[in-house]
Each structure stands twice: as structure tokens, then as C-alpha cells.
Amino acid sequence: MAIGPRIQFAKRGQDRGLSVLGARLAKRRIEIGLLYSRSGTYTLIAEACRTGALSAIAEINADPDCDVTFIPVERDPGGNIDHYGPLCEEILSQTSARHIIGCVTSWSRKEVIPVLERSGGTLWYTVPYEGFEASDHVVYTHACPNQHLIPLLDWALSRHGRRVYLTGSNYIWGWEMNRLTREIVSGAGGEILGERYLPIGGLEIGRIVDEIEATRPDFVMNSLIGASQYQFIAALRDLGLSDERFAPENCPVLSCNLTECELPALGAAGEGLVAAGPYFRGSTSWPGGGSFGSSHEAATAAAVHALARLLAGRPGAEYESLSSLLASPTAGACNIDPKTHHSTLPVLIARVQSGQFRIIEECGLVAGDPYLTRDRSQATAPEGRTLRVVK
Amino acid sequence: MRPGLHIRNLGGAHAAILHRPHAVVQSLARQLTAIGLEVSTHWPDLGADAFNADFIFFDVDMGHDAQFPWPPGEAPMPTVALIGSEAPGRIEWALAMGAHAQLVKPIGDSGVYSALLIAREAFYARRALSDEIKSLRERLDERKTVVRAVTFLAARGMSEAEAYSQIQRMAMNWRVSFEAAARRIVARYAEEDGKDGDERSHGR
């Protein structure tokens, strides 16, 4: 649950028509869409995002200094990829909502972008993804590879070695994460020992585990999602218990999208997992502060707060295009790059210990660089980069 | 193994857009800027500055040869055609200009990144091919020289195979191509034979 105001609205009551007798600021009722699958293989992530959205909406609605009340309009694609486009269309055509918070997989995001383009809507996308996109109709509030994969590989290559096994779910996230990993590991003189994919929801992890046992990598880069990931992590835990060579301290499993919201599904098998993310429970570097259940929750709450900030005090702004909103005077404080629509985020690396993520490395605040074209020193020098430590 | 796309050096690259002021230019510039490129816009022609660009995006609808500071098909960088009217004559012109990739107008929310990568790969592939063709042509032109060199060496008692390996060895020692070595042999022996001929005529 989010605590504390992350947006301080200037107390300009009289400017906004607040009566001298202390009446509450007249609130504008603005519908916003929520497009999350409440069933299906990645539902834990969707629920964490939804919690972040609803708690931030409650905060905005309770804030007497913000003239915005958000009315959530929810649609549930039920984990079915073919429902995302039509349900996005439905929100944009049957309600007054122009902004939708939602989507977990990149596949579903790619399905809704053409709809957003046609209707002039905006998607606030709040989970880590593989980069190489900067849609004029999407705001990206979670991390892209220069904020998760690259620092995570920096860490792993210098501590564990350069012999790497790659696995992932069979869609764009897994493919592109592994392509990038291959490029970075090869560039560092390392070796890719194997690369295997499972269909989303697939549980046939036997072959992957056998190959890991046979090739004995220094670490495993895991871009599986949902049930496949849970099954894989449990199997690797068993392997580590039977042969110390595969225990987490000798052959860690790395992830760029694993957060607290999925730890309950992993149980004891989660011990020793290493993940990169912008927020872990207890970390203090999240822009604007606050306390959340996971980075999925934090990034979704940040999206709602940024939207409120862009709309507050400007009646009619809810119908402006995203590019026009991001050009408005309040946009500067929203932590969103108007060129790429990506966010500046803390980069943290954490390991699961006693059922919780413990931060083992802080790499400072890093601006999202979706095409890996901006910060060459970071993008091209996986080794020897100076890490900045922030409080 | 084929090397991966070298995507990272797109950062800070310069894209020149040759198009009349239009919404197309804005959408294109937005995408290019988001990707990390510097953008300049030009109309009605490119000017000599264009030689410094890393990519050229050019309008096909109103385009003509004189807008470019180089002859048709000889752009020294990757080019992307911006096609509105898909009339065959216009496409023919875009092809004559040597377009390496195309975008169909109106330019929407995406497409520029793949056009950049495809244009660059096509540009380098085409350049590598024409370099190879040029070097093969040169070698073809030297066929006669090689035959003459072998003949000269054979006249001095070598078998054909020995003559070939002799030329090969010389090429290696001199660090020149096989054809260049053959040329030197021909030059040397043609001169010697010429002198011999003179002396013989004296003796008569």
C-alpha cells in the first residue's frame, strides 16, 4: 500500500476557486482505463500493478489540493492476447477515458498501440520491457534494458564468470533480452552455452535443466514468465540441492522482471535469485519516496500520480494529446523524458534472502535509453563501469 | 557467423530529411529524435552539407535528380525513400536514386527504426558487392597478363604448374596480388627479350 503524498500540489486554493470559507476544491471527475488480466499465467504481476493503480487513484481522490478525481474504468482481457485490442477500443469508444493504465506483456502492448494511434489514446505501461520502442502514445514508467539487463550483466560477468545459459518465454521479451545478453556477453569475451524457449505457460522445463546440468554455466539468464518461470526455478533449486555446483551462490539465476509480487509463487525455491529493478521493498531511492509492495506497484502508482500532475489545475487537459501534455509546464516534474517517454529510475540489484529481496548493489539513477543509443559508455562497456552509489 | 546488427552507433548519428514542410517531417523527426539521432530538414534541395549526413530520408512525391549533390544512385550513405503516391513512375525514380529502404506516407508512430537498420545493412551490402565486383573485374582484365607471364616462364624451362607457383611465390614475397606479380614478370621478361632480340640482330 502506498503511503504518504508523493505529489505536493501547491496550495493555490483561491486561484482554483476554493472558497474562503474552506469548502473543498471542486473536483473534476476524469475516467481512466485499467486494462489488466485478472486471470492467466502472469496474473500476479497484473494484480500488483492494479493494486498500485487503485491505491494511487484513492490517494489522488482523497487529496483536497488536487482538483482531479479519477474514476477507474476496468476491462479484463483474461490473459487472452486477442482481447487486448478490442477491450482497449471499447474503453476509448464507450467511455470518456483517454488514458489507460495497463498491459503486462510486450505482446499485448503491441496489440493495443494501433488502437491508441487511431483513437488518440495513451497507454501508461508500468512493467519492465525489452526496449526498442518509443511510441508517441505510450508512457513507459518501469525499466528498459539499460536500467535492468545491462547493469545486471555488469554485476554477474564481473562476479560469477562469462559462461552463460539463456532461457526465456517464447515471445519478444525473451527473444530480445537474450539477443542483447548474447551481444553483451560475447562483447565481454564470454560464451553462450545454450538458449532455450518455452511457450508462455509451458511447463516442459526438463530439457532446459538437463542442458544447464550438462553445460555447467557460471550463471543463468532467465526471461521466462509466469508458471514456466515458477516451474523452472523450483527445478533449478532441486538441482542445486543435489549438486552444490548449481547452488545459487555458484550458479545464480538472474531475472529482470522478478519482484516481490511473485515471491509467494516461488516459496523456498526463490532463495538466492538475483534480480534487477528500480525498487525493492524497503529501498529509499524511489523518486518521490513512498513504500510499495513491489516495483510493479510502485511504477503503476507513479503513472497515476504523473497523470494527475499533468491534468491537475488544467480543465480540459484530459483530452489533450500525450505530446501536448508532456510539453506543458508541469511535465518537467513528472520524471518522463518528452523525447522517449521513458522514465529516470533507480537501478538496484537485489538477491532473495530469507524470503525477501536484499539490495546488493545500487547503481544510482539512470535515464531510460530504449534504443541504447544515448549512453555509450554504459551500453558498450559491460566491464569496468564505475557504479555510483546513492543513499 | 554473421555479425549482429551494430545498432548502438546510431546514437548521435545525423539524419537529413529532404521533404517540404509537412506533418510527415514532424512524425519522422519525432521518431528519429526518440531513437537518439540528430535531425536536419532540407527543402527544396539537400545542399553540400548533406555529405556529412549518416542517413538521408528523401521525398519521392516531389523529388527530382537535381535536389541531390551526387549523381543518381551514388549517395555515399544509406538513403530511405518517403513514398506517398505509389505510381510506378515515382517508384522507378526512387529505385534509380538507389533507395536502400522505404517508408510509406503518412508516417505514423513506428517504422523509422527498422528503416534505419534495413537501409544501413542494404547500403553496406551493396557497397561490399560493388567493391567485390570491381576487384573481380580488375582480375578478369589481367587474364592476358597472367597468360603472358606463364608463357615467359615456360619459355625459360618451367612447366605450367611451376610457372603458376613461381608467380604465386613472387606475389607473396612482394606482398602484391597474383595479377600484379604477373604484370611485373611480363614487364621484366618483355624488356629482356627485347634486348636479346637487339643483340641477335647485331650479331647477324
Identify whether residues A58 and A92 lie together within a single domain. Answer: yes
Give chain B as a 3 state SS string.
CCCCCCCHHHCCCEEEEECCCCHHHHHHHHHHHHHCCEEEEECCCCCHHHHHCCEEEEECCCCCHHHCCCCCCCCCCCEEEEECCCCHHHHHHHHHCCCCEEEECCCCCCCHHHHHHHHHHHHHHHHHHHHHHHHHHHHHHCHHHHHHHHHHHHHCCCCHHHHHHHHHHHHHHHCCCHHHHHHHHHHHHHHHHHHHHHHHHHHC
Residue A356 lies in a domain: yes
Residues spanned by the domain of A368: 146-280+346-380
Q: pLDDT of A134-176, one tens digit each? A: 999 999 999 999 999 999 999 999 999 999 999 999 999 999 9
Residue A176 sits in the same domain as residue A270: yes
Residue A26: per-residue pLDDT: 87
> Has residue A113 been placed in a domain?
yes
Both B16 and B99 in one domain: the answer is yes
The pLDDT of residue A279 is 98
Could B36 and A134 be called an inter-chain contact, meaning their C-beta atoms sit closer than 8 Å? no
> Best interface-test mutation with B: which of A373, A375, A376 has the largest number of B CBs within 10 A?
A373
Statement: residue B53 has pLDDT above 60: yes
Do A258 and A367 share a domain, yes or no? yes
**Judged by CB atoms within 8 Å, which residues 48-77 of B form the interface with A?**
none
Q: Which among A270, A262, A178 is positioned nearest to A220, based on CA atoms?
A: A178
Residue B204 has pLDDT above 70, yes or no: no
How far apart CA B119 and CA B32 sit, in angstroms, is: 14
* Domain coverage including residue B189: 142-203
- Residue B109 has its nearest CB partner, among A136, A179, A374, at A136
CA dist A137 → A53, A82, A140, A228, B37 (Å): 19, 20, 10, 31, 20
**Amino acid A21: pLDDT:** 47
pLDDT score recorded for residue A390 = 39
Could you tell me the CATH number of the domain that includes residue B160?
A: 1.10.10
pLDDT value at residue A28: 95
One domain for residues A37 and A118? yes
Among B135, B162, B180, residue at a domain's last position: B135
Q: Please indicate, yes or no, if residue B76 is contained in any of the structural domains.
A: yes
pTM for the model? 0.83
B110: closest chain A residue by CA: A135
- The verdict on A324 and A372 lying in the same domain is no
Secondary structure E strands in A235-289:
253-255, 274-277
Contact A372 B110 (CB under 8 A): no
Residue ranges for chain A with pLDDT beneath 50: 1-22, 376-391
- Contact residues, chain B, for A182 at CB < 8 Å: 4
One-letter identity of residue A226: G
Do B40 and B14 fall into the same domain? yes
- Residue A372 near chain B (CB below 8 Å): yes
Are B22 and B105 part of one and the same domain?
Answer: yes
- ipTM for the predicted complex comes to 0.78
Q: Is B55's pLDDT higher than 70? A: yes
Chain B positions touching A137 (Cβ under 8 A) are: 109
* Whole-Å CA distances, B186 to A268, B17, B136, B193, B197: 81, 53, 21, 10, 16
Q: What is the pLDDT of residues B146-201, one digit of tens each?
A: 999 999 999 889 999 999 999 999 999 999 999 999 999 999 888 877 765 444 44
Q: Specify if A20 maps to a domain.
A: no
**In this structure, are B33 and B52 located in the same domain?**
yes
Phi then psi for residue A72, to 5 deg, are -70, 135
Q: Which residues of B are less than 8 Å from A372 in CB distance?
A: 7-8, 11
Task: Report the mean per-residue pLDDT for chain B.
Answer: 89
**In this predicted model, what pLDDT tens digit does every residue of A216-255 receive, in sequence order?**
999 999 999 999 999 999 999 999 999 999 999 999 999 9
pLDDT, residue B7, reads 54
Regarding whether A376 and A236 lie in a shared domain, the answer is: yes
Q: What is the total count of domains within chain A? A: 2
Nearest residue of B to residue A115 by CA position? B109
Q: Kindly state the percentage of chain B with pLDDT values over 90.
A: 78
Q: Report the pLDDT value the prediction gives residue B193, as an integer from 0 to 100.
A: 73
Residue written as cell 516534474? A333
Residue B44 lies in a domain: yes
Pairs of CB atoms within 8 A across A/B: 50
Backbone conformation region of residue A272, classed left if phi is above 0, alpha if psi is from -120 to 50, else beta? left
* Position A257 in a domain: yes
Which CATH number belongs to the domain containing residue A294 in this structure? 3.40.50.2300
Q: Are residues B126 and B26 in the same domain?
A: yes
Do A229 and A260 fall within a single domain?
yes
Between A113, A339, A374, which is nearest B109 by CB?
A: A113
- Kindly state whether residues B122 and B26 are assigned to the same domain: yes
Claim to verify: residue B71 and residue B94 sit in the same structural domain:
yes
Q: Parallel, antiparallel, or unpaired for β A274-277 and A253-255?
A: parallel
Q: Does the residue A156 lie in any domain?
A: yes
* Interface membership of B108 toward A (CB under 8 Å): yes
* B109 to A117: CB separation less than 8 angstroms, yes or no: yes
**pLDDT, position B37:** 95
B102 in the same domain as B24? yes
- Which pLDDT score, from 0 to 100, does residue B8 have? 56
Same domain, A311 and A228: no
B-proximal residues of A, 286-345, CB under 8 Å? 323, 339-341
Q: Are residues A42 and A138 in the same domain?
A: yes
Q: Are A166 and A131 members of one domain?
A: no
Same domain, yes or no: A206 and A115: no
- From the list A137, A341, A373, the residue facing B35 with the nearest CB is A373
Residue B192 pLDDT: 79
Say if the Cβ atoms of A373 and B31 lie within 8 Å.
Answer: no
Q: B76 and B157 share a domain?
A: no
Together in a domain, A80 and A134: yes
Residue ending a domain, choose from B135, B157, B172: B135
**Residues of chain A contacting B34 with CB distance shorter than 8 Å:** 134, 339-341, 370-371
Do B108 and A117 lie within an 8 Å CB cutoff?
Answer: yes
A307 phi and psi, to 5 degrees?
-65, -40
- Please tell me whether residues B117 and B157 are part of one structural domain: no
Among B86, B109, B135, where does a domain finish?
A: B135
Residue B92 sits in a domain whose CATH number is 3.40.50.2300
Mean pLDDT of B20-45: 96
Average pLDDT over residues B110-131: 96
Q: Which of A305, A359, A364, A358 is nearest to A336 (CA)?
A: A305
Question: Is A103 among the domain residues?
Answer: yes
- What integer pLDDT is reported at residue B191 of this predicted model? 81
Q: Which chain A residues contact residue B15 at CB under 8 A?
A: none
A191 found inside a domain = yes
Q: Which residue has the cell 621484366?
A: B188
B62 and B125 co-located in one domain:
yes
Angstrom distance (rounded) from CA A96 to CA A98: 6
**Please, are residues B24 and B106 in contact by the beta-carbon 8 Å criterion?**
yes
Predicted pLDDT of residue A378: 41
> Is residue A387 one of the residues assigned to a domain?
no
Task: Provide the pLDDT for residue A24.
Answer: 63
DSSP A326-370: HTSGGGGGGTB-TTT-BBEEEEEEEEEETTEEEEEEEEEEEE--T
- Res A322: pLDDT: 96
Answer yes or no: do B121 and B165 share one domain: no
Residues from chain B that touch A117, judged by Cβ atoms under 8 A, are 108-109
Number of domains in chain B: 2
Residues of A in contact with B120 (CB under 8 A): none
